Structure 1
Amino acid sequence: MNSLLMPALSGKSQKTRPYLLPELPPDRYYVEAPTPESLGNGSLIFIEDSDPFDRYTYRLRNILYSGKTAYQNVLIADTVNYGRALMLDGAIQSSQDDESLYHEVLVQPAMLRHPSPRDVLIIGGGEGATLREVLVHRSVKTATMVDLDQELVDLCREHMGTWHRGAFDDPRVRLVYEDGRQFMENDDARYDVVIIDVVDMLDNGPAQALYTRQFYELLKRRLRPEGIVAVQGLEFCFDDAAPHAALARTLRTVFAEVHSYSAAIPSFLSTWGFLIASDWFRPDEWTAHEVDATIQSKLGSQWLSHLTGDYLKSCFSLCKETKFMLSLPGPVIEDGVDLILPPHIEEVEKPYATFPIPG
């Protein structure tokens, strides 16, 4: 994806409210949204080319870092609407205001469902927030984080403290700066939970090696019998399900139980997909009450900002059209084979309804 930085345009100022604001709990406070005037004429717009036809724009307050590591272009900036944000190769990866939602939804279903996760492997997750969500579990004895880009991790240590919250310095952590695929080929440790939080597979690039059947076969050999895998599952909605569906099909060639779920991530301007894979876990057999009881037992009531039993169950509830898209046969992601997705599917336009619709 390409990106542009350009001056922002000014707009109208905010009006005075003709009402009293309600009193908030002690741990909350109000923050006025900025106006274009308050930002001044020097503010910038970050433009993300989300696909060949559309662009997303983010207004920036200021830039903390803009440069290139050995592997990718990096921008760390304070945005107006989403707080501090990390952009890699022109695409937003994480933002301060909603990263807790993304990382709770990615990490906690697997960590909560496993009876007692002791040894956890994270591939990717350079900001440290995935690691943070793992380490909150008292049962964890070792957390191995593998990331290709040490320069990026160092930048995140410096500029993204609210993500990692010191997690990199926890004595249970082992940091490995290596290609994730190479690590899996050489590693002989066993893990209870594996979390894959790497960049999207774009245009059959290097990251695709972390999405293939052969990679998941390597990974499964490193799992203990009750092991669970959680995967960042790409943009995912009924109108854009093909890449996620290919990933789900690929996981199903290796694991007996593979389940898709999703959450709307505001800064991504999209619904985002996740997958949980194992040989035993079925989300429909895990009630909301059981989820809440597990959260209370393992984490207590204060840690999570978003996840509850009811909310997690809703994440696994997919619409009719999405289920149809996931049910279709199609390509599996393989080593050395370009992934060519099937054409977009359109529904034959239905005639205008006559109301009331006959029973």
Structure 2
Amino acid sequence: MSEWFTEKLHRDFAQSLRIEKLHYDSKTEHQRLRVFQNPTFGRILTLDDVVQTTEGDNFIYHEMMSHVPILAHGAARRVLIIGGGDGGMAREVLRHASVEHVTMVEIDAGVIEFSKKYLPNLSQGAFDDPRLELVIADGAQFIRETEGGFDVIIVDSTDPIGPGEVLFTDTFYGHARRALAPGGILVTQNGVPFLQGQELTNTMRAFKALFADWTCYIATIPTYAGGPMAFGWGTDGEARKVDLETLKARHAAAGLACDYYTPEVHLAAFALPGYIQRLLP
């Protein structure tokens, strides 16, 4: 009988995934990394026994965190990714030929190296794109020291536990706002609101104080169990007011063939269920 992996991220809720084959299991200075095979989701990456991404459903997360802000902006040239060591976010951002430069800041070089070897389907060559500048550093320190000028900042962080905790503070969000170019957009992953409501509320409270336009949008990702995941949205521009026809034109011009993102889904993602609306300050 196959072994089962059980994620116990939440106090009173757990999910289990069958391990068909274990590909990698090792501890780095920062965290424990594992990759195993599952018949439905393909290869699955876990950090400290929490599911981070899978070959099967990563496209939902990565498409919605990248294409929503980039297509809403309409003229994004410089993009910053905080985290994203598996390369999936860089893969989607770099699909936009209009993006001239991507800075990716990852704290753990070990995640990148083993992702190249054990999860190549996620990055699909993104690490070799000459537009990608890879920085091995603490994201909070980098954002504090950078001169900024980014059109889009994507915080592809782990949950607010351990190394990822500093990426959920008011100070970090303030530094991120300063690093945006005029009209720039900040997006963040904010967990599953049904089970991690306080995480979203805390981020939205900070965004409310920082941005003229702040909210979250949602997408349902099977292995991030417990309902739809929330993505924080903050900007001082008008990007959220873009209409459907403009989005369709930008989407067509970008030549994107997505498995989840569509212009219609883009707009609908900002329509929040009542229980999520009540988590916003």
> Do both proteins adopt the same fold according to a TM-score greater than 0.5, normalized to the shorter chain?
yes
Amino acid aligned to 2:237: W
Corresponding position of 1:319: 273
Corresponding position of 2:92: 133
RMSD value, Cα:
1.6
Corresponding position of 2:122: 163
Matched, 1:143 2:102: yes
CA distance in 1, matches of 2:154, 2:209: 18
Corresponding position of 2:246: 290
CA distance in 2, matches of 1:139, 1:176: 22
CA distance in 2, matches of 1:153, 1:206: 16
Greater radius of gyration (CA): 1
Matched, 1:274 2:201: no
CA distance in 2, matches of 1:281, 1:72: 39
CA distance in 1, matches of 2:144, 2:263: 37
Matched, 1:47 2:6: yes
Q: CA offsets, 1:182-208, max 9 Å, x none?
A: 112222242111110011103xx4422
Q: CA deviation at 1:257?
A: 0.8
Q: CA deviation at 1:286?
A: 2.6
CA distance in 2, matches of 1:307, 1:138: 17
Q: CA deviation at 1:162?
A: 1.0
Q: Secondary structure at the match of 2:211?
A: coil
Q: Where do 1:158-307 residues align within 5 Å?
A: 158-202=117-161, 205-237=162-194, 240-270=196-226, 271-281=228-238, 283=240, 285-297=241-253, 299-300=254-255, 302-307=256-261
Matched, 1:85 2:41: no
Amino acid aligned to 1:307: Y
Corresponding position of 1:76: 35
Amino acid aligned to 2:221: I
Q: Secondary structure at the match of 2:279?
A: helix
Q: What percentage of aligned pairs have identical amino acids?
A: 30
CA distance in 1, matches of 2:231, 2:55: 20
Please say if residues 45 and 57 of structure 1, whose CA atoms lie closer than 8 Å, have aligned partners that are also in contact: yes
Q: CA deviation at 1:282?
A: 5.5
Amino acid aligned to 2:187: A
CA distance in 2, matches of 1:318, 1:291: 20
CA distance in 1, matches of 2:163, 2:113: 22
Which has a greater percent of helix?
2
Q: CA deviation at 1:240?
A: 4.6
Which has a greater percent of strand?
2
Corresponding position of 1:347: none
Please say if residues 287 and 309 of structure 1, whose CA atoms lie closer than 8 Å, have aligned partners that are also in contact: no
Q: CA deviation at 1:242?
A: 2.3
Structure with bigger RCO (C-alpha 8 Å, 6+ apart) = 2
Please say if residues 101 and 132 of structure 2, whose CA atoms lie closer than 8 Å, have aligned partners that are also in contact: yes
Residue 72 (structure 2) aligned to one of 101, 110, 113: 113
CA distance in 1, matches of 2:146, 2:245: 38
Q: CA offsets, 1:206-261, max 9 Å, x none?
A: 42221111112212222111211111111123x65222111111122211111211
Q: CA offsets, 1:260-317, max 9 Å, x none?
A: 111110122232110121002353x3333332222012x22x5211111222222111
Task: Give the stretch that moved more between structures: 49-58 or 101-110.
Answer: 49-58
CA distance in 2, matches of 1:199, 1:262: 17
CA distance in 2, matches of 1:115, 1:310: 16
Q: Which 4+ stretches in 1 moved above 6 angstroms?
A: none
Q: Secondary structure at the match of 2:278?
A: helix
Q: CA deviation at 1:169?
A: 0.7
* Gaps in structure 2 of 5+ consecutive residues: none
Q: Secondary structure at the match of 1:50?
A: strand
What is the TM-score when the length of structure 2 is the normalising length?
Answer: 0.94
CA distance in 1, matches of 2:217, 2:234: 11
CA distance in 2, matches of 1:159, 1:240: 30
* Gaps in structure 1 of 5+ consecutive residues: 1-40, 328-359
